[in-house]
Amino acid sequence: MEKIEIMSDKMKGLDYFFYPKSVAVIGASEEENKIGHVILKNMIKAGFKGKLIPVNPHEKKILGLKCIKSVKEIKVDLAVIAVPAKIVPKIITECGQAKVKAAIIVSAGFNEIGNVKITKELFQAMQEFPEMRVLGPNCLGVLHVKKGIDTLFLPRERLGRTPDGRISFASQSGAIGSTLIDWASMKSYGINKFISFGNALDVTVTDLLEYLNKDKETKVICLYMEGLEEGRKFLEKAKKVSKQTPIVVLKGGVTTQGKKAAVSHTGSIAGEARVVKAAFKQANMIEATSFEKLFNYARVLSNEPLTKGKRVQIITDGGGYAVLAADFTIKNGLELAKMNEKNLRKIRQVVPPHAELGSIIDLTGDATTKMYKTAIETALKDKNIDMILLIVLFPPPLLEKEVVYEIIKLHKKQVKPMIVVSASGKYTEKQKAIMEKEFVPTFTFPKSAAESLKALYDYSLFRKKIKR
Amino acid sequence: MEKIEIMSDKMKGLDYFFYPKSVAVIGASEEENKIGHVILKNMIKAGFKGKLIPVNPHEKKILGLKCIKSVKEIKVDLAVIAVPAKIVPKIITECGQAKVKAAIIVSAGFNEIGNVKITKELFQAMQEFPEMRVLGPNCLGVLHVKKGIDTLFLPRERLGRTPDGRISFASQSGAIGSTLIDWASMKSYGINKFISFGNALDVTVTDLLEYLNKDKETKVICLYMEGLEEGRKFLEKAKKVSKQTPIVVLKGGVTTQGKKAAVSHTGSIAGEARVVKAAFKQANMIEATSFEKLFNYARVLSNEPLTKGKRVQIITDGGGYAVLAADFTIKNGLELAKMNEKNLRKIRQVVPPHAELGSIIDLTGDATTKMYKTAIETALKDKNIDMILLIVLFPPPLLEKEVVYEIIKLHKKQVKPMIVVSASGKYTEKQKAIMEKEFVPTFTFPKSAAESLKALYDYSLFRKKIKR
């Protein structure tokens, strides 16, 4: 099923969050600790190519950019609002009057801390301009590296930014969303669009699902959710989207004021979690039970073709890791592939005599790039094999660095799912980063690799089922 | 129960693997790709302070060190043997004649590949000199950074070495053991003694258990085992040792020639695993089900005091992470602590008005070092609290770097177990590395932190029980 591209006007409005031609930062400041300063700086560092305008009635220039006194002086696509909560309604009215297309309210201090009065005021101001889409309040906004959009108010020295990729990630919690971005950046995991949607007074997670499903750059949608606010509406949308774009979801704890106090010795959250789990499943979403799994599943689902079956060929240069991988493959309900005898003989010709070629292809600690190349090429052609789990330990000195580029080249063919397990340290992490940037999913230990192949297999089965 | 220090002569012999005054590298070479070259280089780089002697009949100097033709020319404590398998028996005889105290045979090509003849020859040669302890063959030997011993034949550029620590780690598999060392080094986890024991013709894992239990520098023993060769003997020893030193064990797959072929679609390994699991439990060992857990449990058990109870106080600067931590605390059978009202008021005086101080102490995104200091000091004194789970998110700009040193200082008091959760990227990893080097256990996500506190609680309960 191909992605459908008919978008309502309301949906099209979301484009301005990710592809604006001009951005105003309202509340920009020369003071380094101020949120408005950090956002402006990050937009500059992100390399935004459009017009970038600081808005501050008391300054002439900020960070070398000419300042305006009010957003009303100018026509902009996107306004990022970083002013105290109490004047946000007024600013939103100004944005509406200035025909701003989209606004991100990063300011906090609304319903999330029980401030009903100011939240109502804000909501009323928003109602006056229904065409202007609003993200937040109490959010970090958007990171879209490809277009140089970075409204996260956390300094780049302290919080890394991800390379471009095929996963888009929407998070209810700004703190968790951004620390996951930081973690993913350290791992060189690519993210296309990151959205911290906060209190969701206008743009909801349901809207984002619909938008990202239609977004051609998004191959997988990742969600971090604490509550299930729009309940039924969200689940219905998710059920539809899942048929075209895999949704990987992680359910967090509940952080709103009221519920937080409810966290107690009784573990009442666990009960709620069971209900949510069942709902996710019914909507055909893929539930991740840890932060690592969220991105593990998403990386495999976004970068690998769907699999035709569950037979996994393990190719390795370390016996111990391979047997663990075999163990986890079986534990996850997948099978070990049995390579055709003729093909095994082909590999036999290039490997050392003591290499074992059984249900595992063990190239031994003497493995070279050539051996890996032959084994992978053969496995890609073998009809008894559905997926390849490649184990590459880099410390043995005989293994040339070139193996990384050979794997990338073979992976690009996208004949079958192929992922890499590679423990462990700094040298290895560098090799893995090179592969990640070229969209080869890498893992440190066999367990998570096998689990991720299982997620891919399950989703492939689901897609096959709905096709019938 | 204090560690007992009575050692048999045979046990004392093991000292020469870790504290030799002189080391001969037999098979040292000028060729960079040769194992004997890499080992000699690593011993130099490790900063070994004793006499280091390359042995090679064809060279005068290797890496600037004067070479001898045969080990018989000299008296050394430790010989590291890196020559082809077929001449190893002869070399072992020479070592015995030269009254070498301990020998590490890194050479492979013995029983692990079914080479019975040469294995028998080696075994016979060893029998002639029962006082000489032998590690291996088919192993990586020893890494003991404190004394500059590094017989691992993997280049330091490709495989990192750990800082000194309180955990000792014995691994049956050299490849898995060394990649875990590499991984631990990247995380700045301290390791006191690492031993890859390979085929264990003389020194067995049971011997190592006994030795490490008596070793004052070892607070926790980590084991990676593939088979259970010495079965009953090992388990009996483990049962005794566990009463004094926690043993964390990870069972890998089975990599010996015969069993590897047995890995099949039937998943027969799973059955064996259940038996082993039960045996570990009976011996009061702590089983880790993943590589991460092996070091997670070990770090907490080696660096924290035993806990008096299961009440965990969560202190945080990020609400979402705290609620997840609370959730996992409860899921792991622990409880959320309830701080005394008077103490809560103390903290109330230093935190922002919107900070929530319930079963979780949330210092908010405006947290400062001072707030953390007050909250931790108060929690350390509060009698309703047994353990502290500290969440520190570093990206918010208000949090000073000093918080790391304040945590280290308070942790050093060892009043109660206290561990740190801190997601995520490069900046944060630097802060975590500083803490790890000062023995504060750090975690990326709340799940593993809660699991590790549970492991500490279980072991503390066990110790309490045997004390009665």
- Chain B touched by A264 (CB under 8 Å): yes
What is each CA distance from A16 to A13, A197, B135, in whole angstroms?
A: 6, 15, 66
Conformation bin of residue A448: beta by default, left when phi > 0, alpha when psi is -120 to 50: alpha
Q: How far is CA B115 from CA A41, A417, B122, B232, B237, in A?
A: 66, 38, 11, 27, 30
| Interfacial A residues in 95-134 facing B (CB < 8 Å) | 113
Q: Which of B264, B270, B398 is nearest residue A336 as measured by Cβ atoms?
A: B264
Q: Considering only alpha carbons, which residue of chain A is nearest residue B428? A: A158
List the single residue in B253, B358, B365 with the smallest CB-CB distance to A260.
Answer: B358
Decide: A300 and A389 in contact? Cβ < 8 Å.
no
A179–B265 C-beta distance less than 8 A: no
Tell me whether residue A46 is exposed, middle or buried, using C-beta atoms within 10 angstroms of its C-beta: 0 to 12, 13 to 18, 19 or more: buried
- The closest CB to that of A323, out of B254, B426, B427, belongs to B254
Which of B424, B426, B430, B442 is the best residue to mutate to test the A interface, defined by the most A CB atoms within 10 Å of its own CB? B424
Give residue-wise pLDDT tens across range A32-41.
989 999 999 9
Considering only CA atoms, which of B288, B435, B330 is closest in space to residue B372? B435
Instruction: Please indicate whether, in this complex, the C-beta atoms of B320 and A33 are within 8 angstroms of each other.
Output: no
Whether B265 has its CB under 8 Å from any CB of chain A: the answer is yes
**Residue from B32, B106, B179, B223 to probe the interface with A (highest A Cβ count within 10 Å):** B179
Q: Residue with structure tokens 């060929």?
A: A313
Quick one: pLDDT band at residue B33, thresholds 50, 70, 90? confident
- A122 burial level (CB within 10 Å; 0-12, 13-18, 19+): buried
Select the residue of B176, B260, B359 nearest A263 (Cβ to Cβ).
Answer: B359
Closest approach of A38 to chain B, Cα-based (Å): 10
Model's pTM, two decimal places? 0.91
Disruptive mutation site among B113, B118, B263 for chain A (greatest number of A CBs within 10 Å): B263
Could you tell me which chain A residue has the CA closest to the CA of B320?
A255
A290 vs A295: CA distance, rounded Å: 9
d(CA A176, CA A254): 12
Higher per-residue confidence, B390 vs B9: B390
Strands A51-55 and A22-26: parallel
- Is the predicted pLDDT of residue A263 greater than 70, yes or no? no
Q: B385 vs A211, B79, B330, B366, B437, CA distance in Å?
A: 47, 52, 15, 25, 26
B415 part of contact set with chain A, CB < 8 Å: no
Interface predicted TM-score of the whole assembly (ipTM), two decimals: 0.88
The Cα-based distances of A273 to A76, A205, A242, A290, B463 in angstroms read: 42, 19, 21, 14, 35
In chain A, residues with a C-beta closer than 8 Å to the C-beta of B264 are: 336, 359
**Sign of the torsion formed by the C-alpha atoms of B196, B199, B202 and B205:** positive
**Mean pLDDT score of chain A:** 92
Q: Which of A312, A346, A341 is closest to A419 using CA atoms?
A: A312
**Maximum pairwise Cα distance, chain B:** 78
In this structure, are residues A248 and A286 in contact, taking their beta carbons and an 8 Å threshold?
yes
What's residue A5's pLDDT? 54
Residue of B nearest to A38 (CA): B397
Tens-place pLDDT, residues A397-444: 789 999 999 999 999 999 999 999 999 799 999 999 999 999 999 999
Band of residue A6 on the pLDDT scale cut at 50, 70, 90? low
Interface contact B197, partner A, CB < 8 A: no
Instruction: Dig out the tokens for B412 from the structure.
Output: 């050093």
Give the pairing of strands A141-144 and A78-81.
unpaired
pLDDT at A188: 96
Q: Residue B327 and residue A269: Cβ atoms within 8 Å?
A: yes
A304 and A298 Cβ atoms separated by less than 8 Å: no
CA distances from A450 to A312, A313, A455, A459, B294 (A): 9, 11, 9, 14, 19
Is any Cβ of chain A less than 8 angstroms from the Cβ of B365?
A: yes
Residue B451, min C-alpha distance to chain A (Å):
13
Tokens linked to A65: 């950019």
Question: What are the tens digits of pLDDT across the range B284-303?
Answer: 999 998 899 999 999 999 99
The tokens for A262 are 């409810």
- Single out the residue of B94, B89, B79, B97 nearest to residue B122, CA to CA: B89
pLDDT at A464 over 50: yes
Chain B, nearest residue to A422 by Cα:
B179
CB-CB contact of A188 with A213 (8 Å) = no
Instruction: Domains for chain A: give ranges and CATH numbers.
Output: 9-259+266-301 (3.40.50.720), 305-467 (3.40.50.261)
C-alpha A387/C-alpha B187 separation (Å) is 31
Judge whether B27 and B104 are in contact, CB under 8 Å.
no
> How much is the pLDDT for A435?
98
Amino acid at B178: S
Give me the residues of B, 46-105, that contact A with CB < 8 A: none
How far, in Å, are A150, A304, A406, A421 from residue A165 at the CA level? Answer: 15, 13, 21, 20
Nearest chain B residue to A337, by CA? B265
Q: Do B396 and A154 touch (CB under 8 A)?
A: yes
B137 prior amide bond cis, ω within 30: yes
Look at A33 and B398 and tell me if their CB atoms are within 8 Å: yes
Chain A residues within an 8 Å CB radius of B33 = 397-398
User: What is chain A's alpha carbon radius of gyration, rounded to the nearest angstrom?
Assistant: 25
Report whether A142 contacts A161 (CB < 8 A).
no
pLDDT tens digits for B211-259? 999 999 999 999 999 877 778 899 999 999 999 999 999 988 754 433 4
- Please count the residue pairs, one from chain A and one from chain B, whose beta carbons lie less than 8 angstroms apart: 229
B292 chain-A contacts, CB cut-off 8 A: 445
Q: Are B318 and A444 a contacting pair at CB < 8 A?
A: no
State the smallest CA–CA distance between residue A175 and chain B in angstroms. 7
B304: left (phi over 0), alpha (psi -120 to 50) or beta: beta
CA distance A413 to B296: 39
- pLDDT (tens digit per residue) in A80-106: 999 999 999 999 999 999 999 999 999
Which residues from chain B sit within 8 angstroms of residue A359, using beta carbons? 263-264
Chain B segment 289-308 residues within 8 A of A by beta carbon are 290-292
- Flag whether pLDDT at B273 surpasses 90: no
**Residues 384-403 of chain B whose Cβ lies under 8 A from any Cβ of chain A:** 393-398
| Joined tokens for residue B215 | 């070793």
Interchain CB distance below 8 Å, A356 and B260: yes
Interchain contact B353–A (C-beta under 8 A) = no
Looking at residue B227, what is its pLDDT?
A: 75
| CA B300 – CA B416 distance, rounded (Å) | 12
User: How far is the C-alpha of A103 from the C-alpha of A92, rounded, in Å?
Assistant: 8
Alpha-carbon dihedral A160, A206, A215, A184, rounded to 10 degrees: 20
| Structure confidence by residue, pLDDT tens digits, A283-315 | 999 999 889 999 999 999 999 999 999 999 999
Which band of pLDDT confidence, cut at 50, 70 and 90, is reported for residue A3?
low
**B323 and A365 in contact by Cβ < 8 A?**
no
Write the single-letter amino acid at A177.
G
The helix-helix angle for B231-242 and B269-282 (nearest 10°) equals 40
Coil vs helix vs strand at A428: helix
CB contact, 8 Å: A423 with chain B? yes
**Residue A249 CA: distances (Å) to CA of A277, A286, B213:** 10, 6, 45
Q: Does the distance separating the beta carbons of A397 and B38 come in below 8 Å?
A: yes
When pLDDT is averaged across residues B14-19 and rounded to a whole number, the result is: 98
- Bridge partners of A52, per DSSP, are A23
* Cβ–Cβ < 8 Å for B97, B72: yes
Terminal CA-CA length for chain B: 12
Strand, coil or helix: A143: strand
Amino acid, res. B94: E
Give the pLDDT band (50/70/90) at residue A10. Answer: confident
Token pair of B64, please?
A: 């600037």
